[in-house]
Structure 1
Amino acid sequence: MPHMQMRDLKENYVVSKETLKGSMNQKKSSPQMMIKSGDRFEDGKKVLGRRNGRRRGRGYKVDRLQDGKLEPNMGSTPCKSLMFHTRPGYGQLGTKCIVKANHFLAEIPGSDLSHYSVEINPEVASRKLDKAIMTELVKLYRNSDLGTKLPVYDGRKNLYTAGSLPFTSKVFNVILADEDEETGNVRKRDFEVTIKFVAVASMAQLRNLLSGKQVDTPQGALNIIDTVLRELAAQRYLSVGRFLYSPTIRKPQALGGGVESWRGFYQSIRPTQMGLSLNIDMSTIAFIEPLPVVDFVAQILGKDVYSRPMSDADRVKVKKALRGVKVEVTHRGNVRRKYRVSGLTTQPTRELIFPLDEHMNMKSVVEYFQEMYGYTIRYAHLPCLQVGNEKKVNYLPMEACKIVEGQRYTKGLNEKQITSLLKVSCQRPHEQELDILQTVQQNDYDHDPYAKEFGINISSKLASIEARVLPAPWLKYSDTGKEKEYLPQVGQWNMMNKEFDRDPVIPIYSARPDQVKKALKYVYHAAANKLEGKELELLIAILPDNN
């Protein structure tokens, strides 16, 4: 490849609601809702403010600290827990019915689970690399040092096993071969991984919660089960935060401008009154379409680029769209090396020359590709992609590159793309049900080796829930409209012959995205002062459309 050598230069909430009284289609105020924030956890650690009183358990108990060594208690330790309000009773208002929910009943393991800490040296900033290191470790040592156990790793500092490993602390050496994102070269690196026992996660507490014998929720045990059920899915799908996406869940739909929609899902284990259940919900977000780069550029600009040179304005727009995007070369047969785009040349490909060696013998990019790869550049009027670092800039013709699949589109969507995304993501309930059931079928929890290892079983059927259809509330509109009051039917209504009051109870208030929290506090206090002890019945918040 031609190159230019440069000189060195989760809050948890408790929601309680007063018992409903009387008929809701009488003109009465809505019941009061109180939201009380519980303890906040980040990466498995409780974040505490300054307050008096005893501190809760940390997940492991320190018996003593001698000679700078931390010695954890080897016995069973209580998991971090959250306390929820018990249900005050069951309502009677409305028409009873049975509904299906996006929950799948789960059976938990009978034996306790073990928690270990993981320390990787040298440290790496990439969670993906951490996972790759631990995957290689399990591959190398599972049938020897790990005692045939199949552990799960959360990508940070925690490792979990069903039962105990045959050691309390051990150091492993791992050699990992991976690809350098800047140069595309394959490199081998040595890592030292230290695994130490932390605590036993008791499943008895979770069973007591599900049987109604305790009200504390053992969050630590739930986190382990969550991690186990996510392990195989994270290997099959692309993780974006807590969501998992794949083009196999549903065929991607083009949104225009080199962007397409991917379908994904969120899953979380939840304790419920019917038992432990796996909650699954669907999601749709935008990804960069894996097109040949020339085709992608044509979509970005919305014009013919195959025969016409690009203007300076076009080049700036394309550079902005491609910077940071990962591409793979297509001119070398089965050799598909990947690079990350760092920029775009100011000159077209036909004018680009570079020093071939340290004696500054110059060669054109067109000649180099013809002589080195037997590749004739067709679109020499287009600029080249710049890949690599600042010290060693490599040139790649656009036509010799294709965008790597699975890159989330993080820039803002335009109005047309937002409309297309909404059309793709909006579904009828039965369509949503089919997507969720298909996802559960694809995940195939019955044959998940990690779920089997930990003794976790997931039902393949949607949970059936007892529900009540509540009477609709009366809506009061402005007296200037033809219809001043309205009773919605089947949960919907329109604005025909109805008008809003021009002056709401609380004046319209707007705020920048980074000031929303302050704005809500302001509106809350303004409402309290205005209503003088009465309840605020409706607050409309209009958020901007973005990605």
Structure 2
Amino acid sequence: MVRKRRTELPGGGESSESQEAGGEQGSGAQRPPPQQQKQGGGGGVVQRPPPLQQQHGGGRGGGYEGGGRGYAPQPQYGSRGGYGEVRSLASTSSQTAEPTPQQVAQQIEQISLQQEASSSQVVQLAPASSKWVRFPLRPGKGSLGIRCVVKANHFFAQLPDKDLHQYDVSITPEVASRGVNRAVMEQLVRLYQESHLGKRLPAYDGRKSLYTAGPLPFVTKEFRITLVDEDDGPGGARRERDFKVVIKLAARADLHHLGMFLQGRQADAPQEALQVLDIVLRELPTTRYFPVGRSFYAPIFGRRQTLGDGLESWRGFYKSIRPTQMGLSLNNDMCSTAFIEPLPVIEFVTQLLNRNVSARPLSDADRVEIKKALRGVKVEVTHRGNMRRKYRISGLTSQTARELTFPVDERGTMKSVVEYFWETYGFAIQHIQWPCLQVGNQQRPNYLPMEFCKIVEGQRYSKSLKKEQITALQRVTCQRPSETEKDILQTVRQNAYADDLYAKEFGIKISEKLASVEARILPAPRKMVNGGTVKSWICINFSSDVRDSVARGFCTELAQMCQISGMEFNIDPVLPATSARPDQVERVLKARFHEAMTELQPPGKELDLLIVILPDNNGSLYGM
């Protein structure tokens, strides 16, 4: 089976999701507002990846390439925000008459003609150098080796025969959360799909673009949506937010050029068309799983293993539409990454510090480590029954729960957090010597005792992992090709593209069988007649885990094994093996090189071999 293993490791530049965690009244101790204001807030959010921006592989002459992946914010599992009721109003300008279907068709045709005219002008005004560019032809297909057929983790896709349209979407007021944007559009489609949207099921990228398999019955239209957030459960205070949504025709996505490229009659892959197909196929998985970049994770994929320090590995899958020599295909692969375990915060801190936290008070170093690990993590309160309001941690208080006080009314009456929770909820705080979690904004913070908070499931860990955790995560991804094939096929069956409403709407059909690809088993390389020669060599150890005696022993055994294998290998190095810190690599390499050049005779002789022992967790040295 031909495939690439994908392992997502944190710290690779992925951004975090943004969540409005306004200072709602409710779960924790809270400073009263100076005056009553309409409260904002954000429900749970589901992140969607940014539109595809990098170049795809898969030219006519080349083999298939596994694509790179984008990175994105922290996802949340499950529903897209927990919005209950929706009250909305669709309207156009009061002074503008509703266009007839004939007028809409004429306007769409005019836009298409303008695009064709502008594109032809661009071709005519192109620089002379671009007209005469000729791509080098493939020298031919290889013939060496034994021919065979292998299975690849690609699933052939049928190019849809649809008239795709792109619409610009403007949501006011603007919010940074893709989840809120999706909730707005989700409810808009639910209310107006059968009427104003002409029974179309659009695909939305979470930002500014909407795609449909055919024109909508308008060129531009304004909708008004009211979201009612019932995140607190039955009986909770509900927050209403009004949004204005404007949908405007922007362009038509041309699938003809993609078909020409797949037939080898066009040099460049039309990225816009591929992007639309990717967005369509991501719609349904985004609602079912935890999206991270171009991958999707969920506990149902199994192999959920503890990594230590309150982290665990989750399995998932990666997918992307790719143009190949054999046509359009869906690249599907398995992957793993680290998530924060959904533990009570007290238990998470115990694992993080790796000791009995109740034995002695937290030190300043402990507080710094806890704050670093929990900042930005979403938690839910447990002291209010079914009303599990969620908050995002912004920091830790400098005072303990027993010492921390705040005003409880406009007269400035002060109470401690311990007193407040006892009088308001009837709970006695056990860890009174611990700091509280601070949530909400700085102007109106909430204070939550750690023992009444639990980490919300489905939050990817984006910080750097320890080397032991990296090793454990890599071990999870190691499996036999037959096992990987089984997992990939099971993932495709679970996605059920034949029943995907969005795939049906856009006419995309995905095969459930692995693609068969012609391959060749190359003959083994010929054995060298004579062994190589290494007369001058040195060794530098940058790993603190490898003792000097172990490094010297390794070098001696390496020299002996090379001699046994037929090489002429000097058993003694030019300089004794030495150790150095990883942050001094450049200086040490230069110094040892000059020392070796001084020792070598005659002058001008070069080193044959430099052995460098690297630390396990310092990838930066690979670029030296």
TM-score category of the 2 structures, normalised to the smaller one: 0.7 to 0.9
| 8 A Cα contact 1:418 1:545, kept in partner | no
| 8 A Cα contact 1:83 1:215, kept in partner | no
Alpha-carbon distance, 1:313 to partner: 1.9
Tell whether 2:231 aligns with 1:188: no
Alpha-carbon distance, 1:314 to partner: 1.3
Q: Which residue of 1 aligns with 2:324?
A: 272
Alpha-carbon distance, 1:83 to partner: 10
Label 1:86 to 1:118 Cα distance change in 2 as closer, same or farther (>3 A): farther
Distance 1:230 1:16 in 2: 24
Alpha-carbon distance, 1:429 to partner: 1.5
Alpha-carbon distance, 1:110 to partner: 1.9
Alpha-carbon distance, 1:192 to partner: 1.8
Q: Which residue of 2 aligns with 1:497?
A: 561
Distance 2:440 2:408 in 1: 17
Alpha-carbon distance, 1:179 to partner: 8.1
Distance 1:463 1:479 in 2: 46
> Higher strand proportion, which one?
1
Q: Which residue of 1 aligns with 2:174?
A: 123
Alpha-carbon distance, 1:178 to partner: 4.5
Distance 1:458 1:385 in 2: 48
Q: Please give the residue correspondences for 1:279-358 in structure 2 after superposition, counting only pairs within 5 Å.
A: 279-358=331-410
| 8 A Cα contact 2:298 2:316, kept in partner | yes
Q: Could you report, residue by residue, the CA deviation over 1:103-137 in whole angstroms, capped at 9, with x for unpaired residues?
A: 00111222321222222223222333222222122
- What amino acid maps onto 2:383 in structure 1? H
Q: Which residue of 1 aligns with 2:16?
A: none
1:217 pairs, out of 264, 269, 274, with 269
Q: Could you report, residue by residue, the CA deviation over 1:278-335 in whole angstroms, capped at 9, with x for unpaired residues?
A: 0012221111111100000001100012453222221221122111111100111111
Distance 1:255 1:143 in 2: 48
Distance 1:431 1:372 in 2: 55
2:287 counterpart SS class: helix
Q: Which residue of 2 aligns with 1:435?
A: 487
Label 1:304 to 1:185 Cα distance change in 2 as closer, same or farther (>3 A): farther
Q: Which residue of 2 aligns with 1:522?
A: none
Label 1:215 to 1:396 Cα distance change in 2 as closer, same or farther (>3 A): same
Q: Could you report, residue by residue, the CA deviation over 1:336-360 in whole angstroms, capped at 9, with x for unpaired residues?
A: 1011112222333233333222223
Distance 1:185 1:390 in 2: 22
Q: Percent identity?
A: 55
2:164 pairs, out of 86, 110, 113, with 113
1:142 pairs, out of 193, 204, 211, with 193
| 8 A Cα contact 1:118 1:195, kept in partner | yes
Alpha-carbon distance, 1:475 to partner: 7.9
| 8 A Cα contact 2:405 2:415, kept in partner | yes
Q: Which TM-score applies when normalising by structure 1? A: 0.73
Alpha-carbon distance, 1:174 to partner: 1.8
| 8 A Cα contact 1:5 1:391, kept in partner | no
2:308 pairs, out of 240, 256, 265, with 256
1:451 pairs, out of 503, 514, 528, with 503
Q: Which residue of 1 aligns with 2:29?
A: 2
| 8 A Cα contact 1:237 1:246, kept in partner | yes
Distance 1:143 1:354 in 2: 52
| 8 A Cα contact 1:6 1:390, kept in partner | no
Label 1:166 to 1:475 Cα distance change in 2 as closer, same or farther (>3 A): farther
Alpha-carbon distance, 1:454 to partner: 0.8
Distance 1:86 1:7 in 2: 73
Label 1:13 to 1:383 Cα distance change in 2 as closer, same or farther (>3 A): closer
Tell me, which stretches of 5 or more residues in structure 1 are unaligned? 20-32, 36-40, 42-70, 482-493, 504-510, 516-539
Distance 2:201 2:59 in 1: 41
Label 1:434 to 1:383 Cα distance change in 2 as closer, same or farther (>3 A): same
1:410 pairs, out of 451, 462, 486, with 462
Distance 1:86 1:270 in 2: 22
Distance 1:443 1:356 in 2: 51
Label 1:342 to 1:284 Cα distance change in 2 as closer, same or farther (>3 A): same
Tell whether 2:288 aligns with 1:236: yes
Label 1:478 to 1:174 Cα distance change in 2 as closer, same or farther (>3 A): farther
- What amino acid maps onto 1:125 in structure 2? A
- What amino acid maps onto 1:497 in structure 2? M
> Higher helix proportion, which one?
2
Q: Which residue of 2 aligns with 1:506?
A: none
Distance 2:489 2:205 in 1: 26
Q: Which TM-score applies when normalising by structure 2? A: 0.65
Alpha-carbon distance, 1:215 to partner: 4.2
Alpha-carbon distance, 1:465 to partner: 0.7
Label 1:433 to 1:86 Cα distance change in 2 as closer, same or farther (>3 A): farther
Label 1:210 to 1:415 Cα distance change in 2 as closer, same or farther (>3 A): closer
Q: Which residue of 2 aligns with 1:394?
A: 446
1:168 pairs, out of 184, 201, 219, with 219
Q: Which residue of 2 aligns with 1:53?
A: none
Distance 1:18 1:346 in 2: 63
- The number of residue pairs the alignment matches comes to 452
1:117 counterpart SS class: strand
Tell whether 2:149 aligns with 1:98: yes
Residues 115-124 or 75-84, more deviating? 75-84
| 8 A Cα contact 1:339 1:387, kept in partner | yes
Label 1:346 to 1:293 Cα distance change in 2 as closer, same or farther (>3 A): same
Q: Which residue of 1 aligns with 2:554?
A: none
- What amino acid maps onto 2:368 in structure 1? V
Distance 2:299 2:532 in 1: 48
Distance 1:250 1:405 in 2: 15
Distance 2:182 2:505 in 1: 19
Label 1:173 to 1:87 Cα distance change in 2 as closer, same or farther (>3 A): farther
1:73 pairs, out of 97, 112, 123, with 112
Label 1:121 to 1:352 Cα distance change in 2 as closer, same or farther (>3 A): closer
Tell me, which stretches of 5 or more residues in structure 2 are unaligned? 1-27, 36-52, 71-109, 124-132, 536-556, 575-581, 587-611
| 8 A Cα contact 1:243 1:267, kept in partner | yes
Residues 138-147 or 387-396, more deviating? 387-396
Q: Could you report, residue by residue, the CA deviation over 1:18-58 in whole angstroms, capped at 9, with x for unpaired residues?
A: 99xxxxxxxxxxxxx9x9xxxxx9xxxxxxxxxxxxxxxxx
Residues 153-162 or 254-263, more deviating? 153-162
Distance 1:88 1:279 in 2: 27
Alpha-carbon distance, 1:12 to partner: 2.4
- What amino acid maps onto 1:281 in structure 2? D
